[in-house]
A and B are shown apart, each in its own frame.
Chain A
């Protein structure tokens, strides 16, 4: 049973398209995240939601819009895709407590051509 699952795992799309990546966790966590890993393998947080409320919003273009329909889901929608959006996007989740561990999904490899 996958704890944090993302779909699709691989996505190749053209510039200018709009795409979504879905994420679901079955760990009972109340906090979910999106991280971006760029071509240099550098990992950086993009967003975090706690109980469906946005709590972390790093400097990310407005073309990226997260949506959390419930505590177990956090989807990432990207409008007008650009070449520079090519990266691996990791979903993650944790409990909203001190001493919490953040668990990552398997990643979604997005390639914009």
Chain B
């Protein structure tokens, strides 16, 4: 069965600091990878996704993620965070031809102004 692990449950950063959130998955086949963000009291929004091609994908709001197949990782990065990035971030994985999206436990990011 697929599983997704996010390394940090809580991250606190000051504005302008760089961000990297770790995500590893366990599945040997071809996968589709996603990062979703959930702002306080709001629904899940898609930040970025990887299906194939360039392993470095860029998403909304200056976020990017790199797929490293050999490490089964899909880490999320942002060079300079803002207070408005305070939210919970979820990594999710599904099989290429599947429809069951498996989520990590989420990482709560708090950005201090």
What residues of chain A have their CB less than 8 Å away from a CB belonging to chain B? 31, 33, 40-45, 48, 50, 55-56, 90, 92, 94, 96, 98-107
What residues make up the interface of B, taking CB atoms closer than 8 Å to A? 32, 34, 36, 38, 42-46, 49, 51-52, 88, 90, 94, 96-97, 99-103, 105-106, 108
A101 lies within 8 A of B49 (CB): yes
Contact between A42 and B103, CB atoms less than 8 A apart = yes
The contact sample of 17 A-B pairs, CB cut-off 8 A, is A31-B99, A41-B108, A42-B103, A42-B105, A45-B101, A55-B99, A94-B99, A96-B99, A99-B32, A99-B96, A101-B34, A101-B46, A102-B101, A104-B36, A104-B43, A104-B45, A106-B43
Determine the distance from Cα of A106 to Cα of B38 in the docked complex, in whole angstroms.
10
Q: How far is the CB of B52 from chain A (nearest CB, A)?
A: 7
Contacting pair B99 A50 (CB below 8 A): yes
Interface SS of chain B: strand
B100 engages A56 (CB within 8 Å)? yes
Chain A residues within an 8 Å CB radius of B100: 45, 48, 56
- A43: chain B residues at CB < 8 Å are 44, 90, 103, 106
Known: A99-B51, A99-B96, A100-B99. A105 touches B88 (CB 8 A): no
Closest 4 CB pairs of A and B: A106-B43, A104-B44, A43-B103, A99-B51
Asked whether A90 and B99 contact (CB < 8 A) given A41-B88, A101-B49, the answer is: no
